[in-house]
């Protein structure tokens, strides 16, 4: 979320792409864009690192959308996908370690 100079909320690029009318499903659900940009991947990495709450179904959709681009992307985007995947694995390992400590 970002505020412009006048204090108005300005949605991020990913929010714009996911929630614009042409990307809305029949009941208002978001349809994933054809390709996630490197900026989108950076935002997803930030969400993973900061443990933003997301539904498990959305997590799977994000991973599917991310890996869909892998065969045909350039090196910089492939590295961004790898960094995002590693952030997800690290987050999962940390969550499992936390559960083990609690039990």
Question: Residues 74-101: pLDDT tens digits?
Answer: 999 999 999 999 999 999 999 999 999 9
Q: How far apart are CA 19 and CA 28, in angstroms?
A: 8
Residue 33 has pLDDT above 80, yes or no: no
Q: In terms of domains, do 42 and 4 share one?
A: no
The mean of the pLDDT values for the chain is: 77
Element (H, E) at 90: helix 75-102
Q: Higher-confidence residue: 55 or 41?
A: 41
**Whole-model pTM over 0.75:** no
Element (H, E) at 10: strand 9-10
Residues facing residue 10 across a β-bridge: 2
28: left (phi over 0), alpha (psi -120 to 50) or beta: left
Q: In terms of domains, do 11 and 55 share one?
A: no
Three-state DSSP state, 9 = strand
21, 14 contact by CB (below 8 A): no
Q: In terms of domains, do 60 and 94 share one?
A: yes
- Could you tell me the residue range of the domain that residue 8 belongs to? 1-31
Q: In terms of domains, do 25 and 49 share one?
A: no
């Amino acid at each position: 979320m970002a505020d412009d100079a006048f204090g108005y909320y300005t949605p991020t690029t990913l929010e714009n792409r996911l929630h614009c009318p042409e990307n809305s499903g029949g009941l208002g659900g978001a349809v994933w864009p054809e390709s996630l940009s490197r900026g989108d991947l950076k935002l997803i990495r930030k969400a993973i690192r900061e443990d933003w709450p997301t539904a498990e179904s959305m997590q799977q959709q994000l991973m599917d959308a991310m890996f869909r681009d892998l065969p045909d992307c350039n090196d910089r985007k492939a590295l961004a996908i790898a960094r995002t995947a590693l952030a997800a694995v690290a987050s999962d390992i940390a969550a499992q370690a936390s559960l083990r400590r609690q039990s």
